[in-house]
Amino acid sequence: MTLLWIALAVLLLPALWLLVAPLRRAAAVSAAQRDVEANDRTTEQNLAIYRRRLASLEDAHARGEIDAARLEEDRLELERSLLEDTEHLERAPLKSAASGRLVVPVVMVAVVLASVAWYHHEGAEGDLALYTVQRQVMSDPEGSLPVLIERLEEQAARQPDNPNVWRTLFPLYRDSGRIAEATRALERLVTLEGRKPWLLAELAQIRYFAAGREMTEEVQALVDEVLAQEPAQPTVLGMLGIEAFESGDYETAIDQWRRAIAGMSNPDSAEALREGIRVAQQRLGVTPDPAEPAVAEGPGIAVRVRLADELAGRLDDDATVFVVARDPAGELPPLAVARARLGELPLTTVLNDADAMAPMAKLSQVETARLTVRVSRSGEATPQPGDLVGTRGGVAVGMLDGDAVEVVIDRVVE
């Protein structure tokens, strides 16, 4: 910020100099004008002409060429002409060269204040502060993602109407698994920038994942609005492919994902969808397209889930069971998510990269994971009082050649 104000001062200096420069020449200009007026002989010349003409009139009267009445009339005409000539030559007295000097500092202060006010209204001071925060955190050896988010949240409180703050915060919240905050950041962006298709698509996707990959009425309304404006919007098409895959409609999933890849600029996201296409083709029993790369689902975790005897009968058999793997620090989105029904327990499921919620957060990225199994009364992915939960930490991510890791659902969410 110091460099910014120095730059503004440097830019203002020429303007202030132009205001001060006339004062430096005021004394010289005043002296020159006074000299011109002092040496002006126009009045003397007009008097000399008047005297010559009056003498001519008197000589003519003495010779009898004009009578006394004519002499008096012509004399009055000469005097009237002299008065008119001298009247136009009258000048107002010159003001002092120092007069008006106080106005110049006032104008200079006004120019500075107006420039600062204009910059605050039209300038990019907020974006500069945002850039400074990011650079400071990234250059700090002890800087981390939580520290960066905290500093950016301070900027959001200071400049809540700057869309660039929320555009920066949203992916950080999302990648940290803070879905509620990511949703609020997107909603704020929509308020500031309008209902742009890409914003609504991101909002639909994050609400879809927050609902446990369920196409709620709210998500469907956003999807319909986006497709009405931009039928080839890749984020929405990718999400629709996931929904079709989850419901077993693999042909529709393949079609949606291929259309999404055609409009994507992010190679990692496109690669994740190609892997999904490969899985869908395998489940259809179709020979994979040679153009599609082979799936590299990578290491995973075999999980055996059961319900503690003392919690049996607390919820209906149709209640949704979420099996979630997270990184130990909890800084990323869920690395893998699987769903089942309570009535299917006990069951064994496998979590791997095919169950990732986002391309930037996969189970193969970590060596150990923290497992959480939750039975949702409402069917929502967000924990609610009365849900049943079981956890297990420090689970090694391996090649699935060992026994399944058991997680017991043994607690009630208060």
Q: What is the pLDDT of residues 318-350, one digit of tens each?
A: 888 989 998 887 767 788 888 888 988 988 888
Give rounded-to-5 percent helix, strand, coil for the chain: 60, 15, 30
pTM of the model: 0.49
Whether 180 shows a pLDDT value over 70: the answer reads yes
Cα–Cα distance for residue pair 275/295, rounded to 1 Å: 5
Cα radius of gyration rounded to whole Å, the chain: 43
Over residues 279-299, the mean pLDDT reads 63
Cα–Cα distance for residue pair 395/372, rounded to 1 Å: 11
- Beta pairing partners, 412: 388
Whether 374 shows a pLDDT value over 80: the answer reads yes
Whether 129 shows a pLDDT value over 70: the answer reads no
pLDDT on residue 204: 92
Give exposure, 214-227, as e/b (b: 16+ Cβ within 10 Å). Answer: bbbeebeebbebbb
* Dihedral angle of Cα 213, 217, 218, 224, to the nearest 10 degrees: 100
Cα–Cα distance for residue pair 276/13, rounded to 1 Å: 62
pLDDT on residue 27: 61
Over residues 35-64, the mean pLDDT reads 72
Cα–Cα distance for residue pair 83/88, rounded to 1 Å: 9
pLDDT on residue 169: 86
Percentage, residues of the chain above pLDDT 90? 14
Cα–Cα distance for residue pair 316/342, rounded to 1 Å: 7
Over residues 110-114, the mean pLDDT reads 71
Whether 281 shows a pLDDT value over 70: the answer reads yes
Over residues 170-196, the mean pLDDT reads 86
Using the 8-state DSSP alphabet, how is residue 144 labeled? -
Whats the size of the chain, residue-wise?
Answer: 414
Over residues 141-158, the mean pLDDT reads 76
Helices and strands: H and E segment counts in the chain: 13, 8
Over residues 293-322, the mean pLDDT reads 81
Contact 241, 260 (CB under 8 A): yes
Whether 316 shows a pLDDT value over 60: the answer reads yes
Using the 8-state DSSP alphabet, how is residue 325 labeled? E
Q: Give which of 69, 166, 91, 185 is closest to 126, Cα–Cα.
A: 166
Q: Could you tell me the CA-to-CA distances from 386 to 27, 318, 359, 370, 376 in Å, in that order? A: 89, 15, 32, 22, 8
Half-sphere exposure of 241 (CA within 13 A, CB side): 28
Contact 348, 288 (CB under 8 A): no
Whether 295 shows a pLDDT value over 50: the answer reads no
Contact 353, 366 (CB under 8 A): no
pLDDT on residue 389: 92
Over residues 276-295, the mean pLDDT reads 66
For Cα atoms 359, 364, 369, give the angle at the middle one, nearest 5 degrees. Answer: 105
Task: Name the band, by pLDDT with cuts 50, 70 and 90, for residue 172.
Answer: confident
Over residues 253-267, the mean pLDDT reads 83
Contact 374, 207 (CB under 8 A): no
Cα–Cα distance for residue pair 360/332, rounded to 1 Å: 9
pLDDT on residue 296: 44
Return the beta strands (E) in 234-297 as ranges: none
pLDDT on residue 306: 92
- Beta pairing partners, 135: none
Using the 8-state DSSP alphabet, how is residue 367 labeled? S
Task: Name the band, by pLDDT with cuts 50, 70 and 90, for residue 200.
Answer: very high
Over residues 174-202, the mean pLDDT reads 88
Over residues 21-38, the mean pLDDT reads 62
Cα–Cα distance for residue pair 145/2, rounded to 1 Å: 26
**First-last CA distance in the chain:** 48
